[in-house]
Amino acid sequence: MRSPREIINNGNIYVGLVHYPVYDRKGKIVATAVTTVDIHDIARSAKTFDVKGFYVITPLESQGHLVRRLLRHWVQGRGATYNPTRRVALSLVKVAESTERAIGDISRHWNSDVKVVATGARLHRGDIDYHRLKEIMLGSSQPFLVLFGTGWGLTEEVIQNSDYILAPIEGAHYNHLSVRSAAAIILDRLLGRG
């Protein structure tokens, strides 16, 4: 058994935070606004568990611009010396106009297909549990992109088009974690322990 302090090699794992297409509170498909605390928190969790890259996925030019400005400040600008731990985490972040663009970027880098993992709060037929997905990731030489939905979650189309649907985090009659908390827990379950 692995030591609990040992991190597995996560060199083939990427995360994507999807701002479109996602559901709003009424089940309508929308593009959500970028929330800076999502980017900081998920970048820190990604860095903690040695994720290879973090795609902020938004088709809205204004939102992409906001993320790039945040990155300039914290990665190259005055923020980088003020808070080096933010710089290190945010260095993982890239902006992509769509999930397809993120997949294309990873695919070119690896010269390989990309396996897409959808996450969410709902149960789906054929979903995969954490232990099994971890085994598959460890045994694969392909890159994986784990998608998290903002708003009220990834659309069914995105979920059904993914290679794996990860089982929801089981709550005690309550399943409304923030995407920041869900990403932290899922990365810990998949990558944090041997």
User: Where does this chain bind its own copies (CB under 8 A)?
Assistant: 4-7, 10, 25, 37, 40-41, 44-45, 47-50, 83, 85, 88-89, 129-130, 167, 169-172, 174-178, 180-185, 188-189, 192
The nearest distance, CB 101 to its own copies, in angstroms, is: 27
Contact criterion met (CB below 8 Å) for 129 and 100: no
Q: Which is nearer to its own copies, 59 or 168 (CB)?
A: 168
The angle subtended at Cα 145 by Cα 103 and Cα 66, nearest 5°, is 70
Q: Which is nearer to its own copies, 80 or 101 (CB)?
A: 80
Tokens of 100: 């397809």
**Beta strands 115-118; 144-149: pairing state:** parallel
The nearest distance, CB 117 to its own copies, in angstroms, is: 17
Contact criterion met (CB below 8 Å) for 68 and 95: yes
Q: Which is nearer to its own copies, 3 or 111 (CB)?
A: 3
Tokens of 29: 């498909």
- Rounded to whole angstroms, the Cα distance separating 123 from 165 reads 9
Q: Which is nearer to its own copies, 40 or 101 (CB)?
A: 40
